[in-house]
Structure 1
């Protein structure tokens, strides 16, 4: 039973903040150092100071990124920059953005959701997480006791929940309405009717929730709850830390898009990749796309188009720094079943990210778990253009280009209680940090 409740949300005070585009940001884990600096410069009250505070050479246990985040949060509340709603509310969030040459709108419900262990199969993950990231996020939560950004979760629905919320919002104007730096329009409605709260809770209680984005934050919320249970004698089932802030989106929402999470690898030489490609011919049919400076753009487009056409047969594109050629690997029939049939469920074997992780990275390239866990040596990009450019500039040594994981694959893996490799999905657009926040302090 999923427990979905309203909250007294903490929002930026529009009497002091005229444009939410100046103070909101994406989730912390998709922000580059350059983007972090840009958000810092954009506005002195930008949420970047809360979700991803800038490290200083003089950091100490008493003055560090987490304590400064907590300091900014308390200061902004005291100054009225952030203001907590006086009434419990559910928040209807809409984002309108262009995809495939047309505008679409994705809706989400922002609410408190009761924290459940994965074993109960009420809230289900689909990806592995990094232990180091969770420990870092836990220190932030200890210092701030506030959810700055909702966890992006999915629920099965025929549209009834959204219809109920839209009717509740009625023809009223949104309380927040702005366009971000990408031109995406964000709107937020506050729904305070307790009858609607009860109806939504009743409909949602029979649903399973699938974490789409925010696995680290959800597991950190579980760890924070346990930390309080172990250290606070007064902790009870009424404590706010029994809940976590979520953005709930219907799996049938036409505005729900999954982008690929291309892998970018450092410390991998061209010579190593040439040897790996020789070994890969045992398992893949490999096509080469050599290019010259004059025909680079045309060859690149052909390469990416062929990769997209190979989505049903598990295809992986490879581009290596200093080698003017793209490679397209098409998996031979029966390889994954022969190699991993006894240890991996069929729902995992068919995933391109599994082929890449288990067959290419671990078996062919010999990466161990420590190498796969090393965030200094592996990066991600959601667009092929970004991935390829990172190789051209030398920021990374090799890019592995993937087709996106499909929503039905996410559902199947999560439903079976299985876990995909890290960063198997990139749900787009991301849910903004700073629109609605949730205090975990009593």
Structure 2
């Protein structure tokens, strides 16, 4: 298989299940610290032993009893609340109506294989994948009831994220939450390759710890994640090339000032600059498609020159820094709506690579799942 090929990961079958697990939590001053990420780096076989040493020094807390966790975190003025548990990935969907987890971007098989190898060597799911759904009114009431109680843990991490964590162990409450989740269909907001790695691990070792993978499920109807765009830079392409491509497709473009061009961004309009001149392009976007699909599916193939390379940028400033009238244009993209991304995923389509940016994401180290603690988890 071509190592650069992008494929659709398999679909997990419903019902959607989040199981309790005994959580590992880093000490607050370790959470959000850049050095924490390096602690999960090579040699991967040493990570579990490193965490044991940290635990002996009081730098890692391990819950003795499994729990489903409610994790609330606040960053940049946005507060997110989600259920963190061990997602059942043991069953594959054979029909669209059976799908419980919906990817909206493709994955590189080699990258997913590498992540699966890392998790197996570490014996850990080091961070939850991020899922979003629209929960039931009853689920919102149950979660609000949990959040009304004093949290088990409350702290501000090194990156200034504020965290509150509740451990849910009451059997009746767990059963009621499970009932409210079983018919949900969750969209992957972040972690497509880790999700695919979970499925590879499960296929290698079915019936054990790898039947589950760590996930955080956020209810978009109560504490929604912000969905922003990921902008592009096209090297080897000029604004004239972009104008020509748009004209050949019957999509009008016009020259504007920077302020006007940025203000004109919308669901069917993009802005582009070479660092000196600005244009906007009115895209012909069908109701069930996103602007980023039109860019990659129609405009880029119609360019008379290039691009030799496509860069991806999470901020406007980073995209503009790449613009150069001699070589590179920056393309500012509108963000699709979450509902549109969900419809695209349900329609069995994939968005182009790096099409969405769900924010804010939780810091690394708040909740970790040990694959070696699986014996303590329910089957």
Q: TM-score, normalised by structure 1?
A: 0.73
SS in 1 for 2:163: strand
SS in 1 for 2:217: strand
User: How far, CA to CA, are the matches of 1:366 and 1:270 in structure 2?
Assistant: 6
Matched, 1:355 2:294: yes
Match of 2:278 in 1: 326
Match of 1:414 among 316, 340, 345: 345
Matched, 1:39 2:34: yes
Match of 2:240 in 1: 274
Change (3 A) 1:77 1:227: farther
SS in 1 for 2:80: strand
TM-superposed deviation, 1:390:
3.6
Question: Which structure has greater helix proportion?
Answer: 1
User: How far, CA to CA, are the matches of 2:232 and 2:151 in structure 1?
Assistant: 42
Match of 1:207 in 2: 184
Matched, 1:397 2:364: no
Task: List per-residue Cα deviations over 1:189-224 (Å, max 9, x = no partner).
Answer: 222222211111121112222211111110110011
User: How far, CA to CA, are the matches of 2:347 and 2:45 in structure 1?
Assistant: 40
Given that residues 245 and 302 in structure 2 are in contact (C-alpha distance below 8 angstroms), is that contact kept between their aligned partners in structure 1? no
Matched, 1:188 2:165: yes
Change (3 A) 1:159 1:434: farther
User: How far, CA to CA, are the matches of 1:262 and 1:249 in structure 2?
Assistant: 25
TM-superposed deviation, 1:417:
2.5
Task: Point out where structure 2 has 5 or more consecutive residues left out of the alignment.
Answer: 1-14, 375-379
Task: List per-residue Cα deviations over 1:202-259 (Å, max 9, x = no partner).
Answer: 2111222221111111011001111224xxxxxx2xx121011111011212432101
Task: List per-residue Cα deviations over 1:305-353 (Å, max 9, x = no partner).
Answer: 112xx32xx1122223xx5112211125xxx67xxxxxxxx62xx2111
Change (3 A) 1:366 1:157: farther
Matched, 1:163 2:94: no
TM-superposed deviation, 1:360:
1.9
Matched, 1:117 2:49: no
User: How far, CA to CA, are the matches of 2:22 and 2:223 in structure 1?
Assistant: 29
Match of 2:270 in 1: 316
TM-superposed deviation, 1:69:
4.0
Give the RMSD, CA atoms, in angstroms.
Answer: 2.8
Change (3 A) 1:208 1:359: same
Match of 1:293 in 2: none
Given that residues 175 and 190 in structure 1 are in contact (C-alpha distance below 8 angstroms), is that contact kept between their aligned partners in structure 2? no
Match of 1:261 in 2: 230
Match of 1:286 in 2: 253
Change (3 A) 1:151 1:240: same
SS in 1 for 2:264: helix
Match of 2:79 in 1: 105
Match of 1:49 in 2: 39
Change (3 A) 1:81 1:409: same
User: How far, CA to CA, are the matches of 1:204 and 1:417 in structure 2?
Assistant: 22
Q: Which range moves more in the overlay, 75-84 or 195-204? A: 75-84
Matched, 1:132 2:110: yes
Match of 1:380 in 2: 312
User: How far, CA to CA, are the matches of 1:150 and 1:329 in structure 2?
Assistant: 38
User: How far, CA to CA, are the matches of 1:133 and 1:351 in structure 2?
Assistant: 26
Match of 2:121 in 1: 143
SS in 2 for 1:281: helix
TM-superposed deviation, 1:427:
0.6
Matched, 1:301 2:259: yes
Given that residues 150 and 431 in structure 1 are in contact (C-alpha distance below 8 angstroms), is that contact kept between their aligned partners in structure 2? no
Q: TM-score, normalised by structure 2?
A: 0.84
Change (3 A) 1:354 1:144: same
Given that residues 245 and 304 in structure 2 are in contact (C-alpha distance below 8 angstroms), is that contact kept between their aligned partners in structure 1? no
